Every structure is written in structure tokens, then in C-alpha cells.
Amino acid sequence: MKQITTLGHSAHTVNRIGLGCMGMSEFYGSFDENESIRTLHKALDMGVNFFDTADMYGSGANEKLLGKAFKGRWDDLVLATKFAIMRGPKGEFLGVNGKPEYIRKACDQSLQNLGIESIDLYYMHRKDPEVEIEETVGAMAELIKLGKVKSIGLSEVDPETLKRAHAVHPITALQTEYSLWSREPENELFGICKELGITFVAYSPLGRGFLTGAIKSRADLEEGDFRLNNPRFTEEAIRKNLEFVDVIDKLAQSKGVTKAQVALAWILSQNDEITTIPGTRKVHRLEENMGALDVELTAEDLAYIEASMPSETIGTRY
């Protein structure tokens, strides 16, 4: 399988499996800074060179964690962070902001949190419904001129917004949820990315952990875990959605690989440019997930997946 790719309209060459760092600071239960830093260092040692964070993960804590872990090693990696989702002093969610003045301030804060002078890939995390995309992307392009950002991306935008944004300034990457239980980007977004030379970055590729088989009931989630409020993780939804895991498990067993590896290899098999950023806080899971690069899914395997997966996922993504 092709292991590296150049992110569209940028000079960044990345391993097709990067590392999502969100869970190291928030959302998926308790975390341990030392374990996270060990995982980040191990990732670099293994050749992982694409790391994903956002200013809102842990209200700045996630960027600061990466700043600490990667001090002096920034040349070895491509760092992506995001702006737009505002948090208050107690972590409360304050809405989405895509206004130029806010973007300039958010960028300076991210640079400070990370301890760097330029962000490799700066994403708009969510679109501000009150601000035209041209205005937001125009402000992002200004940051490139100032040398504070090297390339720009968008997250979770619709096809029309993506096209309008790209007309203002080349978009390097579109980050959107994509996995065996979230396949909507196949309808239109993949085609637009291909046409415009935009790299598709698949987030939550393990279905927030569900597709690995690690979550069989709500009791497997710690109190305070974001997933307990996610419609796909009600007891009823879990019970029905486990049919996805059964199919993955059968294929994994027949190939002598793990379920996480099947889920990731399937994403990479969709086209040669797609890149993904599975999240983990643990070294052993990082090693397991990177092993997906060596898993070849045959045409027969892919046909089995198409024919056997449930036709619908129970519960909306958010």
C-alpha cells in the first residue's frame, strides 16, 4: 500500500496514517500526560509525521502538550491545528467564530501555545453561519502572507462551501469524519477533493473507538466521556451497531490482523491520497494502528465488506 502522500497544494509530505491527539486532553475519559508524551515520542520514532490538534481540545491544553513534547523536533513533523470553536474560562462552549479579527487572535494564541512561529496546516474547525466563507478564508490566506501559517484547510464543510473557499485560496486539506460507519463523504466530497487537488483527511476513522470492538456497552465508557452523550452510543444503538464490528471481526480473523487494522486499511484503500489520523493515548495501540499500513485488502475483501456491512448506522454522528 502507498504509505506517504503530499498534502494538496502544500509542500508537506506525510505518512498516510498520522496521529489524532484530541483524546490526550479531553472527550474520551481520563488521560495521563506522561503516557501521552511517551506516545507522541514513540510516534515520531516510528516515522509518524502528521499530528492533529485544535485550540479547543482541552481549551488550549492539547496544543500546549504538543508544544512540550515536540520542542526542538518540529522539523520532523507536519503540525495541524484548528480555530473557530470558542471555549470560555471553564471550558464552556461559546459558539463558532469565523470573523477575521477573531482568526488573527486565535492564530497568535495557537502559536504561543505550541511555541512555534508558523503552523504547517491551519484548519477552520467549523464554519461560522454568520460569516461568508470568502471572508474567513481571505483572513486565513492573510496569515500565510504573514508567515504565521503555511497552508490552510477546512473541517466539516458542505460541497458548495468547499468550492467557494477553494476559489479564494487553494485549500490543502478537508478534514471530515469518515469510517465504515460514516460514509457520507463518498457522495460528493471525495469527487470535489479529487477534482480540486485537496487531500481528504479522515477523522474518527475507528468510529471513536467503536469499530475496534473495544466498546460493547455504555459500561465500557468512563463517567464524563463525551460518547455517553453521542446518539451512536445509546445502549440500543450500540447493540445494533455491533453488527459493523462483527463483519470487521470476521475479516480480521481470516487475515490474522486486528479489527482496528481492518478499519484503517479499508479507509486507505478508498484512494491513494486519502490520509487518516486515528487517535490514541497509548503506545501499544499506536503500534497496532500503524500496522494497518501493511494490511492489503484484496478486491474480494472489499467486496465482502460492501456486501456484509449493515445498510444504516443507528444514531446521528453528533
Q: Which residues bind ligand NAP (CB under 6 A)?
A: 20-23, 28, 52, 125, 155-156, 175, 203-209, 212, 214, 260, 277-282, 285, 288-289
Which residue of this chain has its Cβ atom nearest to ligand NAP in the complex? Answer: 20
Closest distance of CB 262 from ligand NAP, Å = 11
Q: With H, G, I as helix, E, B as strand and everything else as coil, classify residue 247.
A: helix
**Nearer of residues 23 and 185 to ligand NAP, judged by Cβ:** 23
**Nearer of residues 30 and 187 to ligand NAP, judged by Cβ:** 30
Cβ–Cβ < 8 Å for 61, 132: no
**Nearer of residues 166 and 232 to ligand NAP, judged by Cβ:** 232
Q: How far apart are CA 134 and CA 137, in angstroms?
A: 5
Q: With H, G, I as helix, E, B as strand and everything else as coil, classify residue 278.
A: coil
**Nearer of residues 83 and 203 to ligand NAP, judged by Cβ:** 203
C-alpha separations of 149 from 4, 50, 79, 94, 107 in Å: 22, 16, 11, 25, 8
**Nearer of residues 20 and 60 to ligand NAP, judged by Cβ:** 20
Closest distance of CB 210 from ligand NAP, Å = 8
β-strands 173-177, 85-87: how paired?
Answer: unpaired
Q: How far apart are CA 107 and CA 5, in angstroms?
A: 26
Closest distance of CB 316 from ligand NAP, Å = 14
**Nearer of residues 156 and 249 to ligand NAP, judged by Cβ:** 156
Say which of 28, 57, 123, 203 is annotated catalytic: 57
Closest distance of CB 298 from ligand NAP, Å = 22
Residue-wise DSSP of 87-155 = E-TTS-EEEE---HHHHHHHHHHHHHHHT-S-EEEEEE-S--TTS-HHHHHHHHHHHHHTTSEEEEEEE
| Residue recorded with cell 484548528 | 82
- Chain centre to alpha carbon of residue 303: 26
Residue-wise DSSP of 243-261 = HHHHHHHHHHHHHT--HHH
Closest distance of CB 109 from ligand NAP, Å = 18
Closest distance of CB 311 from ligand NAP, Å = 21
Q: How far apart are CA 196 and CA 210, in angstroms?
A: 32
* Residue 203 annotated to the active site: no
Catalytic amino acids?
A: 57
